[in-house]
Structure formats: C-alpha cells, structure tokens
Amino acid sequence: MPVSLLLATGVLGALLAAAAATDIRERRVPNRLNLTVLLGGVAASTLLPLSRVTPLEALTGIGIGLGVWFPMYLARLVGAGDVKLMAASGAWLGGAGILWASLWAALAGGVLGLVWIVGHRGVQSAAIALGHALRSPRLLQLQPTDRRERVPYAVAIALGVFAAWCQHHEALLTIVDAHALFSAN
C-alpha cells in the first residue's frame, strides 16, 4: 500500500475514533470534528495520487450522505451530529462508498442498539420493546430523554465508514497480509 494511502487510512481512522469516543462520552459529535472530517476527505480526494475518489466524487458522496441520513434525522432516528458525520465521511468515500458505509453503519447500529437496549432494560423488557417497535416503527424514534440514555450512534457510523473505506481501498488485505504473518522465511 502506498504510504500516502496508509497515512490517509490512519487519519480517517483516528478521526472516526475521535467521533465515536466523543459521542460515547458526551452523546454528541462536535461541529469542529465533523468539519475536520469533511476537510480531510476533500484534501484526500484532491491530493492523493492513487485515491479512488476524485474531488467531484467527494462532493457526490457528501450529497448522498446528507440525502440518505437527513430523513433519519427528521424522523428522530439519529442526531444532527450523526448526519453531519456521515455527510462529511462522504468526502472520503464518494457516492458508492457512502452507500456501502450507510449499509455497514445500519448493520452495526442494529447490533449496537440491541446491545444498548438489553444493557439498559434487561432481556425480557428489551424483547417486549422490540416486539412493540416491529409493530410500530415510530417507537424507534429518539424520545426527549436525557442524553446519557441515547445510543452513541457515531460508533456505528465510524465502524460503517471505516469498513467501507477498507472495502473500497482493499486496505485490510494490504495492511494485514496474513500470508506474510504466518509464512516461514
């Protein structure tokens, strides 16, 4: 893997980890952090010679990320910081990549939400709540509760975005070459 792509992977990973950690700690993703993710993605699409995302693709990714996630904010399924984080991540991933990131984030978010509700309500109460939510999806909306009770969804977004980045750049296969780890010289 070229050094510039390895560096970009590290920067994106660090920014996503910071967003997830902040959301866990404060239940919000600061605008400054989202702006840093956005500017980093635009810079990567412009400066990386081997980037698979052009500046135009970066803008497309931002628009698609906003278009996919803003309705979820309107439905009170995620917070505004989550929408901005996903839109900003579109600059790193482009249009197709942000759709993959959305899929991976939704899957990770489902698991995170399930673990969260079981941890806060117990298995029996969580099963009852899930049954009610399946019959009436509006019950999944964010209720006006204490911030500490909300699921830190930036964790799922970070996992989804990083998975899509690695998928798009085949980064995991290049960073960890299992054959080289286990072969004898």
Chain segment 131-148, per-residue pLDDT in tens: 777 777 665 554 545 666
Cα–Cα distance list, 8 to 12, 98, 117, 178 (Å): 6, 17, 35, 22
Q: What is the pTM of this model?
A: 0.83
**pLDDT band, very low/low/confident/very high, at 154 (cuts 50, 70, 90):** very high
Domains contained in the chain, number? 1
pLDDT > 70: what percent of the chain? 84
Q: Looking at residue 136, what is its pLDDT?
A: 73
Per residue in 83-114, pLDDT (tens digit) is: 999 999 999 999 999 999 999 999 999 899 88
How does pLDDT run across 46-87, given as a tens digit for each residue?
Answer: 988 767 789 999 999 999 999 999 999 998 889 999 999 999
- Residue numbers of the domain that contains 142: 3-182
Inform me whether the pLDDT recorded for 167 exceeds 60. Answer: yes
Percent over 90 (pLDDT), the chain = 58
